Amino acid sequence: MAGDFVDVLIVGAGLSGIGAAAHLQRLCPERSVAILEARETLGGTWDLFRYPGVRSDSDMHTLGYSFRPWTEARSIADGRSILEYLQATARETGVDRLIHYRHRVRSASWSSDAARWTVEAERESGERVVFECAFLLVCSGYYDYAEGYTPGFPGLERYCGRVVHPQHWTDDIDHAGKRVVVIGSGATAVTLVPELARTAAQVTMLQRSPSYVLSLPTVDPIARWLQRFAGHRAAHAVTRWKNVLISVGLFKLCRRRPDFAKATLLKLVRQQLGPAYDVETHFTPSYNPWEQRLCFVPDGDLFKAIRSGRASVVTDTIESFTETGLRLASGAVLPADLVVTATGLKLKLVGGLEMSVDGRKLAPAELVNYKGVLFAGVPNFASVFGYTNASWTLKADLAATFVCRLLNHMKQTGARQCVPRVDDADMALQPWVDFSSGYFQRAIDQLPKQGTKKPWKLNHNYLADLVTLRFGAVDDGVMRFS
């Protein structure tokens, strides 16, 4: 394959890369497309994570693609079903035949003279292979596959039990009949706790600070009714819109009326756990709703596990690991046979690629967002980064179809290069995300920036992005074609 040329080269065969290739095939059928994937299989996140109970916390009508209905009764799905959905999508659209597995992309350099990217990938054997493309579309997700984030816990080396990060869960980890401590309070922790509690002797969720947790029905009765009477395609489209409007509305409500949103979320938790439970300590975060990702639990499974006594929540700080468990700042001791560090991910953007434009190296932190898809001064390049406040796929679908519109415009006008340019050199730049979540804050210095006005400011809103990316002019005066 050395030196092969394709019109569009996609990095990553996860949900975003498969979706982007399918959109390209549909909307730009004359363009050749290839996908380079570092792993030996497709699916990304939904293949990598194997911990018990791994599932979506968004509904599958918005986490699924716009073009392929989610037909199952459950709208919150387990990881395996999501992987099967991605595999079936790749198979049915023929995208599976475009994937070159075991190709880790290392670098990409753009030449304005040739109007091409030269992309270097490494095979498993260590052999380097070069591809060339007219447009580079990075769909590499947002975190490091090699390792998750684990803070330095004092005394960890002393502990004699097993410690596992959910990103590295393997089948031989046996939790049945064991005392398990899950460290963390995010989406992964709230997923793991009720699942482990089914067979463990006791599960403790140990958190330094709480998250907002909201129960959602696994089966959406409206979607179910529509599936039965309107058929899968119509049911998917209507349910997707319903859920988009609900999620946009909920996010706006949380941001505009935080006190009301907070009171409502805590009232719902109290209804689940009863008046005797200390909701103030264990389920009342110090921040306002949606300043960090809201945690959803299907059919209140976490609350059921707590009510049954099989799981409990401890809000405290780890002073030190001991040989047999953990000692906490309050003086309490938690015995543990197994410790699961659901302490988060390490952010890694743009697949860790070394990038250059006409010989000038680019660092992710100096990139300035354009419409949430491209970057100022980087020609024929886009990267897909989904929503943090709604389903990832809503943005991934919009980003991919915007790239298709861009490519079609270039075809019509004979342009070979497109590049967004910032005219206002004095425009203030801001962090890329305004989430206070740990994994963003830890990596804030490495993240691209956004501007303070359109089209440099991120919308974080599907409806606003729909207007910009689906219906807005491609030739908007900011994007330069040549």
Ligand X SMILES: Cc1cc2nc3c(=O)[nH]c(=O)nc-3n(C[C@H](O)[C@H](O)[C@H](O)COP(=O)(O)OP(=O)(O)OC[C@H]3O[C@@H](n4cnc5c(N)ncnc54)[C@H](O)[C@@H]3O)c2cc1C
Which residues of the shown chain bind ligand X in the complex (CB under 6 A)? 11-17, 36-39, 44-45, 49, 54, 56-58, 63, 104-105, 139-141, 145, 188, 351-353, 384, 386, 391-392
CA distance 120 to 4: 11
CB 220 within 8 A of CB 245: no
Side-chain half-sphere CA neighbours of 397 within 13 A: 18
Indicate left, alpha or beta for 207 from its phi (over 0: left) and psi (-120 to 50: alpha).
beta
Q: How far is CA 10 from CA 7, 16, 292, 383, 394, in A?
A: 10, 10, 30, 9, 19
Between 18 and 28, name the residue whose CB sits nearer to ligand X: 18
Between 213 and 479, name the residue whose CB sits nearer to ligand X: 213
**Residue 164 Cβ vs ligand X, minimum distance, rounded to whole Å:** 14
**Residue 145 Cβ vs ligand X, minimum distance, rounded to whole Å:** 6
**Residue 366 Cβ vs ligand X, minimum distance, rounded to whole Å:** 19
- The SS3 assignment for 228 reads helix
Residue appearing with tokens 């047999």: 324
**Residue 126 Cβ vs ligand X, minimum distance, rounded to whole Å:** 15
Question: 222 CB contacts (<8 Å, ≥6 apart)?
Answer: 239, 242
**Residue 413 Cβ vs ligand X, minimum distance, rounded to whole Å:** 30
Q: 19, 47, 43: which is closest to 33 by C-alpha? A: 19
Q: How far is CA 401 from CA 24, 25, 96, 194, 431, in A?
A: 8, 11, 19, 38, 26
Between 283 and 392, name the residue whose CB sits nearer to ligand X: 392
Between 11 and 378, name the residue whose CB sits nearer to ligand X: 11
Between 182 and 334, name the residue whose CB sits nearer to ligand X: 182
**Residue 223 Cβ vs ligand X, minimum distance, rounded to whole Å:** 16
Tokens of 275: 């008046």
Question: 352 CB contacts (<8 Å, ≥6 apart)?
Answer: 140, 144
Tokens of 39: 């792993």
Between 49 and 131, name the residue whose CB sits nearer to ligand X: 49
Between 14 and 420, name the residue whose CB sits nearer to ligand X: 14
**Residue 319 Cβ vs ligand X, minimum distance, rounded to whole Å:** 29
